[in-house]
């Protein structure tokens, strides 16, 4: 296999992602109605959320049952930030930074406290429920952070949405909002792929494969797990911040169990251990949920449950391996002809 072919294989998913993103940005706004475009916007936002868990679980081996904690923290950080600053750029930075800080504190105690995987799931789930109850218990004007009234169960309505950086008066319209979300999704996907092919990402995967061996080679597995957890939290926070933008509203439901459970279903359906799979799984499930909600004669949650059971029992590796099968077959054919080229960078 020559160098150019190897480079092509390595960069093909990134190139395909860029083509898909550019196509979506250029074609969809003029091809679909505004309502559909707004729907696609939330698909892109949730796909970012799905990627956050796909990275932590599929590559870091960290099954976080409370990914919504970071999503919700991002949404609330954006809401509080934008209401106080009056401009969305700083608020979006806060939407990423606050969940990363939360993940750092939480992850430090979990990984350096040597909590086992099962308890890690329990702890993250519990933290989400605590945050849900906390956000629910903030009714009344006395619960405010600066100019931002938290609003308890009713949440925080009428949030200023994204503006052109430095120009608070120039708000983005629905087309621009869609384009920003697609750019964010593509950036997160490409960023994660780059991270996974770098030294840090490879050690994260090695720790998932065999934590003891990673330690015996001199890697502090706890630090790598913490790093992956913090990055995942930041990505979930980005999705949370964009979600608060999308509806110009946030409420305690962003911390809800359903939010965390959905992300797990998207990743299972798409394929644990892949990045593209969870994106596809997320979009497919959301589209299906919306469609079932439209026809009205069947409960979407019941169908989601059935899909989850079906995938766990019959397609445990998810959609991704099935979708990629033809490409992998082609690549195998080529590598049988060529020499045995490894996968080191």
Partner 1 sequence: MSESLLSATGLGISFGGVQALTGIDFRLAEGELRCLIGPNGAGKSTFFKLLTGQYRPTAGCVTIRGTVTAGLEPYQIARLGVGIKTQVPSVFDGLSVDENIWLAVRRITGAPAARNAVFDVLEETGLEHLSARQVGTLSHGQRQWVELALVVASRPSLVLLDEPAAGMSDDEVKRTAQLITAINRHCALIVVEHDMEFVQMIAQKVTVFNRGSILVEGTVDEVLADPRVRDVYLGRDLEMRV
- Please report, as ranges, the residues that interact with partner 1 according to CB under 8 A: 199, 202-203, 205-206, 208-210, 212-221, 335, 340-345
* Closer by beta carbon to partner 1, 130 or else 198: 198
- Looking at residue 165, the DSSP 8-state letter turns out to be T
Of the candidates 261, 258, 272, which has an alpha carbon nearest to the alpha carbon of residue 316? 272
CB of 76 to partner 1, least distance (A): 37
* Closer by beta carbon to partner 1, 57 or else 70: 57
Phi, psi dihedrals of residue 316, rounded to the nearest 5°: -60, -20
CA distance linking residue 260 with residue 131, whole number of Å: 13
Beta partners for 149? 144
Helices within the chain (DSSP H only): 3-31, 34-53, 68-85, 88-112, 117-136, 174-197, 199-209, 211-216, 221-247, 257-270, 276-295, 300-314, 319-337
- Between β-strands 148-149 and 163-164, what pairing exists: parallel, antiparallel or unpaired? unpaired
CB of 267 to partner 1, least distance (A): 17
Of the candidates 14, 61, 47, 22, which has an alpha carbon nearest to the alpha carbon of residue 193? 14
CA distance linking residue 101 with residue 236, whole number of Å: 12
* Closer by beta carbon to partner 1, 169 or else 345: 345
* Closer by beta carbon to partner 1, 75 or else 208: 208
* Closer by beta carbon to partner 1, 59 or else 243: 59
Residues in Cβ contact with 134 at an 8 Å cutoff, skipping those fewer than 6 apart: none
Distances (CA, A) of 221 to 60, 61, 209, 249: 10, 12, 11, 39
* Closer by beta carbon to partner 1, 100 or else 195: 195
CB of 67 to partner 1, least distance (A): 23
* Closer by beta carbon to partner 1, 114 or else 142: 114
CB of 340 to partner 1, least distance (A): 4
CB of 339 to partner 1, least distance (A): 9
CB of 192 to partner 1, least distance (A): 18
CB of 325 to partner 1, least distance (A): 17
């Amino acid at each position: 296999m020559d160098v150019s072919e190897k480079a092509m294989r390595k960069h093909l998913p990134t190139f395909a992602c860029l083509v898909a993103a550019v196509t979506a940005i250029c074609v969809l706004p003029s091809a679909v109605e505004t309502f559909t475009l707004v729907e696609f916007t939330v698909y892109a936002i949730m796909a970012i959320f799905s990627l956050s868990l796909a990275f932590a679980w599929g590559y870091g081996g960290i099954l976080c049952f409370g990914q919504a904690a970071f999503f919700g923290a991002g949404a609330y950080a954006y809401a509080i930030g934008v209401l106080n600053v009056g401009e969305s750029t700083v608020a979006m930075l806060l939407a990423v930074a606050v969940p990363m800080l939360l993940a750092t504190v939480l992850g430090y105690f979990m990984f350096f406290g040597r909590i086992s995987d099962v308890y890690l799931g329990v702890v993250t789930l519990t933290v989400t429920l605590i945050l849900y109850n906390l956000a629910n218990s903030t009714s009344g004007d006395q619960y405010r952070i600066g100019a931002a009234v938290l609003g308890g169960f009713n949440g925080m309505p009428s949030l200023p949405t994204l503006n052109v950086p430095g120009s608070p008066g120039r708000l983005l319209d629905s087309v621009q909002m869609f384009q920003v979300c697609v750019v964010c999704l593509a950036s997160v996907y490409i960023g994660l792929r780059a991270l996974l092919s770098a030294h840090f990402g490879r050690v994260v995967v090695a720790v998932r494969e065999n934590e003891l061996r990673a330690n015996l080679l001199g890697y502090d597995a706890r630090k790598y797990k913490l790093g992956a957890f913090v990055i995942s939290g930041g990505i979930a926070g980005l999705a949370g911040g964009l979600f608060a933008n999308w509806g110009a509203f946030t409420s305690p439901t962003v911390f809800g169990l359903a939010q965390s459970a959905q992300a797990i279903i998207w990743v299972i359906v798409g394929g644990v251990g892949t990045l593209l799979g969870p994106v596809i799984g997320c979009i497919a499930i959301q589209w299906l949920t919306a469609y079932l909600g439209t026809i009205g004669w069947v409960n979407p949650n019941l169908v989601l449950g059935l899909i989850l059971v079906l995938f766990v029992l019959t397609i445990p590796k998810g959609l991704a391996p099935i979708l990629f099968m033809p490409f992998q077959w082609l690549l195998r054919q080529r590598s049988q002809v060529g020499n045995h080229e490894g996968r080191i960078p």
